[in-house]
Amino acid sequence: MEFCRTHFLAILSLVLLFPRTTKGWGEDGHAIICKIAQPRLNNAAAEAVQNLLPKYAENDLGRVCSWADHVKFIFPWSSALHYIDTPDNLCNYQYTRDCKDENGLKGRCVAGAINNYTNQLLSYGRDSDSQYNLTQALLFLSHFMGDIHQPLHVGFTSDRGGNTIDVHWYTRKTNLHHVWDDSIIETAEQRFYDSDMDGFIDAIKKNITKEWSDQVGDWESCDYTKTTCPNIYASESIKAACEWAYKDVSENSVLGDDYFSSRLPTVNLRLAQGGVRLAATLNRIFS
């Protein structure tokens, strides 16, 4: 898909005006991950990101982290790249078995997309007329690194990652997927941070440097021959989906304080890991 740069940027600014869709962490979840990642970039990666970001983002990756959700209607081929369907109740993930779209096309899943856009970005600065749109590649990669850390983006096939499981979030009717995209995050922001996303981000950042400081090196590291490790992130997600998201939930369950307080630590952890790994991946790409 070839777009001239001006055309692409015009579409970019247009699509930001469209209302949010709810696939992948919601707007806040993605923004949180990108805002955790950007200050962790080394000089080379920070400079490359600044060069590649569209002007209207004002060098704030968090502002365009949900772009990939807004362009599904212009790029219908990209819809399958936001998630992975795994076999019902197995609670594990295998790339060769699971990374495909609904038509069985291999590699068309969020793990395959992360590998693909990482490889595209590796041509940055090496090839002056790269065949790729690297702005697009950066925005897709930043978004998909978030999606792969949302446990229900690596969910069961028959319920489409919890999308077909109707539940109540306190008194409001919704579905289980949406609870993990948005509701837990929104409730945490309202309850503990005066509805201020930046307060929530600061709390997660503090945990990264204190409570989780001895694990961060493990999160960042990857097989030494690889630039990014989406298979690890996807395996963790389906495990968390079984242990936390799906657990004790059935059609029409009412989810309230017990569910919220026992699942919030997992949401915090996945947002932190998503941010740390997005930064680590970009640092490896551009160094």
| By CB under 5 A, residue 54 contacts Zn ion | no
Q: Please check whether residue 74 is in contact with residue 13, taking contact to mean a CB–CB distance below 8 angstroms.
A: no
Name the minimum Å distance from CB 79 to Zn ion.
9
Question: Residue 250 and residue 159: Cα distance in Å, rounded?
Answer: 11
CB nearer to Zn ion: give 147 or 236.
Answer: 147
Site size toward Zn ion (CB under 5 A) is 4
CB nearer to Zn ion: give 159 or 286.
Answer: 159
Instruction: By CB under 5 A, name the one of 85, 98, 147, 186 that touches Zn ion.
Output: 147
Residues 6+ apart with CB under 8 A from 266: 151, 240, 244
The one segment of 19-27, 97-105, 163-171, 191-199 that binds Zn ion by CB under 5 A: 19-27
Question: Residue 257 and residue 188: Cα distance in Å, rounded?
Answer: 11
Residue 167, φ and ψ in degrees, nearest 5: -140, 170
| By CB under 5 A, residue 82 contacts Zn ion | yes
Residue nearest to Zn ion (CB): 24
CB nearer to Zn ion: give 46 or 81.
Answer: 81
CB nearer to Zn ion: give 40 or 82.
Answer: 82
| By CB under 5 A, residue 177 contacts Zn ion | no
| By CB under 5 A, residue 178 contacts Zn ion | no
The rounded Cα 79 to chain-centroid distance in angstroms is: 14
Question: Residue 48 and residue 56: Cα distance in Å, rounded?
Answer: 16
| C-alpha distance from residue 234 to each of 49, 82, 99, 114 (Å) | 25, 12, 10, 11
Name the minimum Å distance from CB 25 to Zn ion.
7
| C-alpha distance from residue 32 to each of 64, 78, 144, 231, 281 (Å) | 11, 22, 13, 22, 17
The one segment of 44-52, 113-121, 141-149, 254-262 that binds Zn ion by CB under 5 A: 141-149
The one segment of 2-10, 80-88, 230-238, 266-274 that binds Zn ion by CB under 5 A: 80-88
Residues that bind Zn ion in the complex, under the rule CB under 5 A: 23-24, 82, 147
